[in-house]
Amino acid sequence: MNRIVKIVLAVVGVVAAIMWYQLPSRDVPVAEAAQSGPMNIMFTLTYALLAVAVLASLFFTLKNLFANPKSLKKSLLVIGAFLAVVLLSYLISSGSDVSIEEMANRGVATTESTIKNIGTGLNLFFLLVVIAIGSMAWGGLRKMTNK
Protein backbone atom coordinates (compact mmCIF):
# COMPACT_ATOMS: atom_id res chain seq x y z
CA MET A 1 0.00 0.00 0.00
CA ASN A 2 2.80 2.39 0.90
CA ARG A 3 4.47 1.73 -2.46
CA ILE A 4 1.24 2.51 -4.35
CA VAL A 5 0.84 5.81 -2.49
CA LYS A 6 4.40 6.81 -3.34
CA ILE A 7 3.88 6.00 -7.03
CA VAL A 8 0.61 7.98 -7.13
CA LEU A 9 2.26 10.96 -5.43
CA ALA A 10 5.17 10.83 -7.89
CA VAL A 11 2.76 10.80 -10.85
CA VAL A 12 0.77 13.71 -9.39
CA GLY A 13 4.02 15.62 -8.82
CA VAL A 14 5.17 15.07 -12.41
CA VAL A 15 1.78 16.13 -13.82
CA ALA A 16 1.81 19.23 -11.61
CA ALA A 17 5.34 20.12 -12.73
CA ILE A 18 4.36 19.77 -16.39
CA MET A 19 1.28 21.94 -15.87
CA TRP A 20 3.38 24.51 -13.98
CA TYR A 21 5.62 25.05 -16.99
CA GLN A 22 2.60 25.28 -19.31
CA LEU A 23 0.89 28.03 -17.31
CA PRO A 24 0.32 31.30 -19.20
CA SER A 25 2.94 34.02 -18.92
CA ARG A 26 2.42 37.29 -17.05
CA ASP A 27 1.56 39.11 -20.27
CA VAL A 28 -1.68 37.17 -20.73
CA PRO A 29 -4.81 38.94 -19.42
CA VAL A 30 -6.14 37.53 -16.15
CA ALA A 31 -9.52 36.48 -17.59
CA GLU A 32 -7.81 34.53 -20.36
CA ALA A 33 -5.21 33.00 -18.03
CA ALA A 34 -7.91 31.77 -15.66
CA GLN A 35 -9.58 29.88 -18.50
CA SER A 36 -6.43 28.11 -19.70
CA GLY A 37 -6.29 24.31 -19.71
CA PRO A 38 -3.19 23.95 -17.52
CA MET A 39 -4.72 26.25 -14.91
CA ASN A 40 -7.91 24.18 -14.83
CA ILE A 41 -5.89 20.97 -14.48
CA MET A 42 -3.90 22.50 -11.60
CA PHE A 43 -7.15 23.47 -9.85
CA THR A 44 -8.55 19.96 -10.41
CA LEU A 45 -5.40 18.41 -8.95
CA THR A 46 -5.59 20.73 -5.96
CA TYR A 47 -9.24 19.89 -5.30
CA ALA A 48 -8.57 16.15 -5.68
CA LEU A 49 -5.64 16.23 -3.25
CA LEU A 50 -7.64 18.33 -0.80
CA ALA A 51 -10.55 15.88 -1.00
CA VAL A 52 -8.25 12.90 -0.37
CA ALA A 53 -6.65 14.66 2.61
CA VAL A 54 -10.01 15.63 4.13
CA LEU A 55 -11.51 12.17 3.64
CA ALA A 56 -8.45 10.43 5.08
CA SER A 57 -8.44 12.77 8.07
CA LEU A 58 -12.14 12.20 8.72
CA PHE A 59 -11.84 8.45 8.32
CA PHE A 60 -8.94 8.01 10.72
CA THR A 61 -10.35 10.51 13.20
CA LEU A 62 -13.71 8.77 13.33
CA LYS A 63 -12.06 5.34 13.44
CA ASN A 64 -9.96 6.32 16.45
CA LEU A 65 -12.85 8.14 18.07
CA PHE A 66 -15.18 5.14 17.98
CA ALA A 67 -12.40 2.76 19.07
CA ASN A 68 -12.23 4.43 22.49
CA PRO A 69 -15.59 5.10 24.23
CA LYS A 70 -13.96 7.43 26.77
CA SER A 71 -12.66 9.75 24.04
CA LEU A 72 -16.03 9.57 22.27
CA LYS A 73 -17.79 10.77 25.42
CA LYS A 74 -15.30 13.61 25.88
CA SER A 75 -15.66 14.64 22.22
CA LEU A 76 -19.43 14.68 22.48
CA LEU A 77 -19.21 16.86 25.59
CA VAL A 78 -16.93 19.32 23.77
CA ILE A 79 -19.28 19.42 20.76
CA GLY A 80 -22.23 20.01 23.10
CA ALA A 81 -20.39 22.85 24.84
CA PHE A 82 -19.57 24.42 21.48
CA LEU A 83 -23.21 24.21 20.39
CA ALA A 84 -24.20 25.84 23.71
CA VAL A 85 -21.79 28.72 22.97
CA VAL A 86 -23.28 29.04 19.46
CA LEU A 87 -26.79 29.14 20.93
CA LEU A 88 -25.73 31.75 23.50
CA SER A 89 -24.17 33.84 20.72
CA TYR A 90 -27.39 33.67 18.73
CA LEU A 91 -29.52 34.61 21.72
CA ILE A 92 -27.46 37.68 22.63
CA SER A 93 -27.39 38.92 19.05
CA SER A 94 -30.05 41.58 18.59
CA GLY A 95 -30.36 41.82 14.81
CA SER A 96 -30.83 45.58 15.01
CA ASP A 97 -27.17 46.56 15.36
CA VAL A 98 -27.14 48.21 11.93
CA SER A 99 -29.81 50.26 10.22
CA ILE A 100 -31.26 48.32 7.30
CA GLU A 101 -32.18 51.56 5.53
CA GLU A 102 -28.63 52.88 5.83
CA MET A 103 -27.28 49.65 4.36
CA ALA A 104 -29.79 49.92 1.49
CA ASN A 105 -28.67 53.51 0.83
CA ARG A 106 -25.11 52.21 0.43
CA GLY A 107 -26.30 49.61 -2.09
CA VAL A 108 -26.13 46.61 0.23
CA ALA A 109 -29.40 44.72 0.29
CA THR A 110 -29.77 43.06 3.68
CA THR A 111 -32.38 41.79 6.09
CA GLU A 112 -32.68 41.69 9.85
CA SER A 113 -31.91 37.96 9.88
CA THR A 114 -28.69 38.56 7.94
CA ILE A 115 -27.63 41.19 10.48
CA LYS A 116 -28.53 38.77 13.30
CA ASN A 117 -26.40 36.03 11.70
CA ILE A 118 -23.44 38.39 11.35
CA GLY A 119 -23.89 39.45 14.98
CA THR A 120 -24.01 35.79 15.98
CA GLY A 121 -20.72 35.15 14.19
CA LEU A 122 -19.05 38.12 15.85
CA ASN A 123 -20.38 37.19 19.30
CA LEU A 124 -19.23 33.60 18.77
CA PHE A 125 -15.75 34.76 17.80
CA PHE A 126 -15.44 36.99 20.84
CA LEU A 127 -16.78 34.36 23.24
CA LEU A 128 -14.39 31.75 21.86
CA VAL A 129 -11.48 34.19 22.25
CA VAL A 130 -12.46 34.80 25.87
CA ILE A 131 -12.77 31.05 26.48
CA ALA A 132 -9.36 30.41 24.89
CA ILE A 133 -7.65 33.13 26.91
CA GLY A 134 -9.38 31.94 30.07
CA SER A 135 -8.33 28.32 29.54
CA MET A 136 -4.71 29.35 28.90
CA ALA A 137 -4.71 31.53 32.02
CA TRP A 138 -6.32 28.75 34.07
CA GLY A 139 -3.71 26.24 32.89
CA GLY A 140 -0.90 28.65 33.72
CA LEU A 141 -2.31 29.34 37.17
CA ARG A 142 -2.67 25.63 37.89
CA LYS A 143 0.94 25.00 36.91
CA MET A 144 2.13 27.87 39.08
CA THR A 145 0.15 26.75 42.13
CA ASN A 146 1.01 23.03 41.83
CA LYS A 147 4.77 23.62 42.13
What one-character-per-residue DSSP string does 16-66 give?
HHHHHHTS--TTS-HHHHHT-HHHHHHHHHHHHHHHHHHHHHHHHHHHHHH
Indicate if the pLDDT at residue 32 is higher than 80.
no
Span of 28-32, 63-67, 85-89, 110-114 with lowest mean pLDDT: 28-32
Percentage of the residues of the chain whose pLDDT score is greater than 90 = 37
More confident residue, 130 or 43: 130
Nearest to 127 by CA among 95, 86, 66: 86
Nearest to 89 by CA among 121, 134, 111: 121
Give the pLDDT confidence score for residue 147 in this predicted structure: 65
Span of 15-24, 39-48, 96-105, 125-134 with lowest mean pLDDT: 96-105
Instruction: Look at residue 76 and give its three-state secondary structure.
Output: helix
- pTM confidence score: 0.61
Residues 137, 144, 129, CA angle at the centre, nearest 5°?
5
